[in-house]
Amino acid sequence: MIKLEKIKSTPIPTLKRLTRYLSVIHQLKESKTDYISSTEIANIMGLDPIQVRKDLEFTGISGFPRLGFKIDDLHFAIKEILNWNNTEDAFLVGAGSLGQAILGYDRFKSCGLKIIAGFDINPELIGKKISNIEIYHINKIPNLIKRLNVKIGIICVPASSAQDVVDLMVDNGILALWNFAPIHVNVPSDIIIENAQLSQSLGILTHKLAEKIKAY
Amino acid sequence: MIKLEKIKSTPIPTLKRLTRYLSVIHQLKESKTDYISSTEIANIMGLDPIQVRKDLEFTGISGFPRLGFKIDDLHFAIKEILNWNNTEDAFLVGAGSLGQAILGYDRFKSCGLKIIAGFDINPELIGKKISNIEIYHINKIPNLIKRLNVKIGIICVPASSAQDVVDLMVDNGILALWNFAPIHVNVPSDIIIENAQLSQSLGILTHKLAEKIKAY
């Protein structure tokens, strides 16, 4: 096991790039590559090598002269920063089409997230298992958050009920929310909220495409 | 119809915030509010009022003294920057659970995106309709991109086939790609690519939660 130095607080843009490096490093690990340099990562991803080197300093591990970083070490260290070597239990609320896709999305397990229960108000869903995860009525949330000490809530309900569901989870002790509802929700300042930002990503794409088409 | 001044090139961070303002403005529009100031938007969203004012300058519209911006104008102008007043046709490749959720996600229609066909290699899906969108075999992509002049491709295939599907679409004239595959894909520099960044968003959440738990 590698030894990690004391890690400085990692800026958000660095965290975002680290998740992207991780996907490249994961591919290299699968293809049995042993070492990679920050310059090689920069070339693969079309980024500035200085930027990549600075970002990788946050992992606290050092490369070997001429070889670069040991892939296994880098993989472990980035996952450590993201807290993906541990797994946190999560509740998902709203088991409609998007919620069901997330329940079935195996990959989150390698990203430190294990969804242990789903919640909905639709009687046709309650009591069923989706991707082997049981769906309960929303009114079970208060009791189960406390009993199972769950810290992460995933919000997949329609915009109109998102704030109510968020309030219910926060009131019962949830610490972090991942919001897929296409709406701004308010939370107390000590609660972590991340918006899944699908529409932000789409907005950048459609804006750039319009610019490109105008330029023709 | 409001008149838009010549719009300056909009930075990416501004575009991201504009999509978030739009969701607040959309809620206000539904609740029949007529005017809003940049300070009020900043308060609702917990942002710096100066930042919000600067961002809204990119819309090219002016507020009224004491009233602020006309909600309808602001709504229209932000959608104009994002190119969400127009609709672009898109193809979706990979009609598994995530692909099916996206096919059924009505909201993208108000974000300038209309998915007109899906593609897969699974014989059980080909010829079926999902959320009223027909699924074709992937080998129809080259012909249909050209015939229907489709510019946007949505990639929902597994990581292992993402690069092949991206290459196929780029070779046949797609201009912009929205990538949901959890992998880095390479595209020529003139092709627009946006990663849906679910794992980036999750990485920030799990990192912050770990820091919070450590601080207890």
Q: Which CATH superfamily is domain A88-200 in?
A: NAD(P)-binding Rossmann-like Domain (3.40.50.720)
Q: What is the number of helices (H) and of strands (E) in chain A?
A: 8, 9
- Tell me the three-class secondary structure of B72-106, residue by residue: HHHHHHHHHHHCCCCCEEEEEECCCHHHHHHHCCH
Distance from CA of B31 to the nearest CA of A (A): 12
CA distances from A142 to A38, A47, A191, B10, B66 (A): 47, 46, 17, 44, 44
**B31 has a chain A CB within 8 A of its CB:** no
pLDDT at B160: 87
Could you tell me which of B102, B100, B94 has the C-alpha nearest to residue B158? B94
Pick the CATH number of A12-82 from 1.10.10.10, 3.90.1170.50, 1.20.1250.20, 3.40.50.1980: 1.10.10.10
CB contact under 8 A, A202 and B18: no
**B191 has a chain A CB within 8 A of its CB:** no
Could you tell me which of B146, B147, B167, B173 has the C-alpha nearest to residue B155? B167
What are the backbone angles phi and psi of residue B185, rounded to the nearest 5°? Answer: -115, 145
Select the residue from B6, B41, B58, B184 to test the A interface by mutation, using most A Cβ atoms within 10 A: B184
pLDDT at B1: 47
pTM of the complete model beyond 0.90: no
CB contact under 8 A, B178 and A105: no
pLDDT at A208: 92
Q: Which residues of B touch A182 (CB under 8 A)?
A: 23, 107
pLDDT digits (tens, 9 = 90+) for B99-119: 988 898 877 888 999 999 999
Distance from CA of A79 to the nearest CA of B (A): 9
DSSP character string of B110-152: GGTEEEEEEEES-TTTTT-EETTEEEEEGGGHHHHHHHHT--E
Considering only the beta carbons, identify the residue of B15, B98, B210 that sits closest to A207: B15
Q: What is the pLDDT along chain B (216 residues), one digit of tens a residue?
A: 455 554 468 999 999 999 999 989 998 998 999 999 999 999 988 899 999 999 999 999 999 999 999 999 999 999 999 999 999 999 999 998 889 888 988 778 889 999 999 999 999 999 999 999 999 999 999 999 999 999 999 999 988 899 999 999 999 999 999 999 878 899 999 999 998 878 888 999 999 999 998 887
Tell me which chain A residue has its CA closest to the CA of residue B26. A183
Do domains B12-82 and B88-200 share one topology? The answer is no
**B116 has a chain A CB within 8 A of its CB:** no
Tokens of B156: 């929902």
Select the residue from B45, B107, B207, B212 to test the A interface by mutation, using most A Cβ atoms within 10 A: B207
Considering only the beta carbons, identify the residue of A98, A113, A207 that sits closest to B202: A113
pLDDT digits (tens, 9 = 90+) for A96-143: 888 988 898 877 888 999 999 999 999 999 999 999 999 999 999 999
**B146 has a chain A CB within 8 A of its CB:** no
The number of residues making up chain B comes to 216
- For residue A93, is pLDDT > 70? yes
Considering only the beta carbons, identify the residue of B175, B178, B211 that sits closest to A212: B175
Tell me which chain B residue has its CA closest to the CA of residue A177. B205
Q: Residue ranges of the domains in chain B?
A: 12-82, 88-200
